């Protein structure tokens, strides 16, 4: 199985400051079709997860442009340019290149 | 607007069975791939399984932890996907979510971006 490792697991952030989360996979997520099968999700407190980023770097519909993502192969990152209070929650990366699809452990973002 | 609603959760004894349903609306259900993801209390997300659409054979895949015990099926006439769970274990206690997956087809079809999620249904396995 592909193992997904996120860091940090806890991320205290001051509103208005930037934030970054890393996600590493145990094998490359780059398909022969040229796409990285890596997504990012946010689970706000008491809610279902929501898709933020798909195929490595594409913002999902309705996601604010303060969210961006980059990376390829085994190293990926999610950046928030200026954290807002509503960004609080747990961020997960997930690979869908190979079954079983696997999630990272989650990174809990909280306000300082 | 895409809408997914899970139902069928509850309390069951170890070794028992439960069938969850995921009712969908707001999109062309018959062309969709649907996945189940679960979350144990206070834990992270855990992929359970996937069912492809009929053009892709309606094939299924499962996590190793549930393979042979859980079965995903679909009824396109009712816009519903089912998760039949047998031989339940205490470790299966979780909120179960159904999600839609986008699919990229370049030669082969690969899912990505679980873009819509239901509110989830809680399954508790306890004696």
pLDDT tens digits along A28-74: 999 999 999 999 999 999 999 999 999 999 999 999 999 999 999 99
Query: Taking 90 as the threshold, does the pLDDT of residue B127 lie above it?
Result: yes
Reference A89, options B45, B114, B2, B121; nearest CA is B45
| pLDDT average, residue stretch A7-32 | 97
Query: Given an 8 Å threshold on Cβ–Cβ distance, is A41 in contact with B120?
Result: no
| pLDDT average, residue stretch B38-48 | 98
Query: Taking 90 as the threshold, does the pLDDT of residue A79 lie above it?
Result: yes
Residue A30 CB contacts under 8 Å (≥ 6 apart), including other chains: A36, A72, A73
Neighbours of B37 (CB within 10 A): 26
Please give the distance of CA A71 from its chain centroid, rounded to a whole number: 11
Question: What are the chain B neighbours of A55 within 8 Å (beta carbons)?
Answer: 104, 112-113
Residue A17 CB contacts under 8 Å (≥ 6 apart), including other chains: A82, A83
Q: Any idea what DSSP says for residue A66?
A: T
| pLDDT average, residue stretch A89-97 | 97
Pseudo-torsion of CA B116, B49, B31, B21, nearest 10°?
Answer: -70
Residue of B112, B115, B121, B122 for testing the chain A interface, max A β-carbons within 10 Å: B112
| pLDDT average, residue stretch A87-93 | 98
Cα B10 from Cα B125, distance rounded (Å): 8
Cα B12 from Cα B105, distance rounded (Å): 40
Query: Taking 90 as the threshold, does the pLDDT of residue B107 lie above it?
Result: no
Q: Which residue of A has its CA nearest to B100?
A: A51
pLDDT of residue A59: 97
Query: Taking 90 as the threshold, does the pLDDT of residue B102 lie above it?
Result: no
Both tokens of residue A78? Answer: 């999610």
Q: Cis omega (within 30 of 0) on the bond before A69?
A: no
Confidence category of residue B105, pLDDT binned at 50, 70, 90: confident
pLDDT, tens only, B109-123 = 888 889 999 999 999
Pick the more confident residue, B105 or A63.
A63
Beta bridge partners of A75: A24, A72
What is the nearest CA distance from A5 to chain B, expressed in angstroms? 12
């Amino acid at each position: 199985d592909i193992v997904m490792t996120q860091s940090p697991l806890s991320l205290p952030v001051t509103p208005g400051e930037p934030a970054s989360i890393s996600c590493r996979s145990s094998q490359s997520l780059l398909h022969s079709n040229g796409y990285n099968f890596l997504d990012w999700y946010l689970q706000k407190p008491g809610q279902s997860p929501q898709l933020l980023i798909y195929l490595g770097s594409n913002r999902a519909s309705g996601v604010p442009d303060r969210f961006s993502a980059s990376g390829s192969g085994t190293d990926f990152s999610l950046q928030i340019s200026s954290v807002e209070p509503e960004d609080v929650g747990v961020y997960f990366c997930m690979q869908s290149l190979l079954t079983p699809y696997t999630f990272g452990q989650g990174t809990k973002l909280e306000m300082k | 607007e895409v809408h997914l609603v899970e139902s069928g959760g509850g309390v069951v004894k170890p070794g028992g069975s439960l069938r969850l349903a995921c009712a969908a609306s707001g999109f062309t259900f018959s062309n969709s791939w649907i996945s189940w993801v679960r979350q144990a209390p206070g834990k992270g997300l855990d992929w359970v399984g996937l069912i492809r659409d009929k053009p892709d054979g309606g094939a299924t895949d499962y996590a190793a932890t549930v393979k042979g015990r859980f079965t995903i099926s679909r009824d396109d006439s009712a816009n519903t996907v089912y998760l039949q769970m047998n031989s339940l274990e205490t470790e299966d206690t979780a909120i179960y979510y159904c999600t839609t997956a986008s699919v990229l087809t370049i030669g082969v079809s690969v899912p990505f971006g679980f873009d819509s999620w239901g509110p989830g249904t809680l399954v508790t396995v306890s004696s």
